[in-house]
Chain A
């Protein structure tokens, strides 16, 4: 399969892969390893702002690349729990094939779950 230059860059560097610890850290996950795609985000939220984010991902290069991009661009207002960019825009940015766009919804679900945990505080 061909991947865009951006997809390869984020897949290969996987910036932000890992976990966060601390009282301001909240975790959300979605998907299933047994079904081929699983994503987890840790977000550090203070005073309504996302200070840092990390991810873990079991999935295809698009899943890892987009998760890394989301973690890298997360800092700022929590904005009600939305992704830094819509699923459609992420799909366009990373040239995700139509057949694989459902995997971006798993990323979104993991992100929303993490932010929901933070915003409930």
Chain B
């Protein structure tokens, strides 16, 4: 089979919320750093090779900062959003432990936030898990009601990774500012590059970013650490070794990775007009799926990013739906498949969906390279699969 034929036979990729392909321009910029003629030096080295690499690292830092309304000195490189979330949560918890040991977060957060919180609970911390409304929105007054004098951290994601709902971070930030002692951490892995972000204006103290959701490489991300007012927000480092990143994240900075992230974020900012096109495609997808009947859209349809659509299908079982689509469509299911037995999505369960509907949901993630023909093919594939499974189930 020729390469182009193999490409044509691949399933339609609608899982951009899981990861994105690297933009060819990003890949080229990264490759420039890897060879003998490129800037392969250790950016911490005090010779010409090191200086050249360090200049690229700082350029990338400025690119990322500019794309999210932050100052370059607020960017700390990490291996991804998961590490950034861990650094934010454990770092704040340890630094401010003498001030209080209470954290506020939401039931619908990513595991990279929930699991660190649970780990802290095992060490005596108290965590309040806020329940979202039926649309997946966590309201600022819920946060206000949950705050205690000993609260040192509020961690609320900007955009939910399963349902795409946008939280009102500015309102939550204002609540935290009034409290005074509660730092606001925002997991922005799904919003950066998808909707406009102004770190300074949102009132967040910390923000986690990921490159591979924005057509950049896997294995690199950043934590924004606000430096506004006084000493800014402080962290206790979690790893030690070389004092890189102002001592907050030891380890040689991977020049090619951060160069890729920097350019990916810059390109995303320049590609803002594509948001309207993607929103239009998502609406076309939803209208196509809705015509099936027995389809339920999950999450607040108004307060959502344009690239995510989450739908439950009545009368079908989730694992079978995914299996029926596997050769035609790459999407995510509402199940967390940590073993042979799938578990219903805890995010959809938190919205009030029952177990069966939570399992029979699909998350469609649209992206920069998604075409109208991709959407039309997806509608046909899902329609045929759902109708067939409903027939087998006698539904």
Binding site for B on A (CB under 8 A): 1, 3, 8, 11-12, 14, 17, 19, 33-34, 36-38, 40, 56-61, 64, 97-100
Q: Is B356 located at the chain interface by the 8 A CB criterion?
A: yes
Chain B residue at smallest Cβ distance from A55:
B392
Q: Let me know if A40 and B394 touch, CB within 8 A.
A: yes
Contacts of B320 in A (CB 8 A): 11, 59-61, 64
Contacts of B315 in A (CB 8 A): 58
Top-10 shortest CB links A-B: A97-B340, A56-B394, A58-B393, A99-B340, A60-B319, A61-B323, A99-B341, A17-B392, A14-B392, A61-B320
Q: Let me know if A59 and B317 touch, CB within 8 A.
A: yes
Q: Is B387 located at the chain interface by the 8 A CB criterion?
A: no
Contact of B356 among A33, A40, A100 (CB under 8 A): A33
Report the minimal beta-carbon distance from A2 to chain B, rounded to whole angstroms: 10
Chain B residue at smallest Cβ distance from A61:
B323
Report the minimal beta-carbon distance from A84 to chain B, rounded to whole angstroms: 20
Q: How far is the CA of A58 from the CA of B324 in the complex (A)?
A: 14
Q: How far is the CA of A61 from the CA of B317 in the complex (A)?
A: 9
Contacts of A14 in B (CB 8 A): 388, 392
Contact of B340 among A38, A57, A100 (CB under 8 A): A100
Tell me if A's interface is mostly helix, strand, loop or mixed.
mixed
Contacts of B355 in A (CB 8 A): 34, 36
Q: Is B339 located at the chain interface by the 8 A CB criterion?
A: yes
Q: Is B276 located at the chain interface by the 8 A CB criterion?
A: no
Contact of B393 among A34, A57, A97, A98 (CB under 8 A): A57
Q: Sample 20 A-B pairs with CB under 8 A, ordered by A number.
A: A1-B323, A1-B337, A11-B323, A12-B324, A17-B392, A38-B393, A56-B393, A57-B392, A58-B316, A58-B395, A59-B317, A59-B320, A60-B317, A60-B320, A61-B319, A61-B320, A64-B320, A98-B340, A99-B340, A100-B341
Q: How far is the CA of A64 from the CA of B323 in the complex (A)?
A: 12
Q: How far is the CA of A37 from the CA of B341 in the complex (A)?
A: 12
Size of interface on B: residues with Cβ below 8 Å to A: 21
Q: Is B354 located at the chain interface by the 8 A CB criterion?
A: yes
Contacts of B337 in A (CB 8 A): 1
Q: How far is the CA of A8 from the CA of B393 in the complex (A)?
A: 17
Contacts of B316 in A (CB 8 A): 58
Chain A residue at smallest Cβ distance from B323:
A61
Q: Let me know if B323 and A36 touch, CB within 8 A.
A: no
Q: Let me know if A17 and B391 touch, CB within 8 A.
A: yes
Q: How far is the CA of A29 from the CA of B392 in the complex (A)?
A: 14
> Hey, what's the 0/1 contact readout for B382-393 against A, CB within 8 Å counting as 1?
000000100111
Q: How far is the CA of A58 from the CA of B386 in the complex (A)?
A: 12
Q: Let me know if A1 and B393 touch, CB within 8 A.
A: no
Given contacts A14-B392, A33-B356, A40-B394, contact A58 B340 (CB under 8 A): no
Q: Which of B332-362 contact A (CB under 8 A)?
A: 337, 339-341, 354-356, 359
Report the minimal beta-carbon distance from B2 to chain A, rounded to whole angstroms: 26
* Interface core residue of B315, B339, B359, B393 (most chain A CB under 10 Å): B393
Contacts of A11 in B (CB 8 A): 320, 323-324
Chain B residue at smallest Cβ distance from A34:
B356
Given contacts A11-B323, A36-B317, A97-B340, 8 further A-B contacts (CB under 8 A): A1-B340, A8-B323, A17-B392, A19-B394, A36-B356, A56-B393, A60-B319, A60-B320
Chain A residue at smallest Cβ distance from B337:
A1
Q: Let me know if A3 and B323 touch, CB within 8 A.
A: yes
Contacts of B354 in A (CB 8 A): 34
Chain B residue at smallest Cβ distance from A68:
B392
Report the minimal beta-carbon distance from B324 to chain A, rounded to whole angstroms: 8
Chain A residue at smallest Cβ distance from B354:
A34
Chain B residue at smallest Cβ distance from A17:
B392
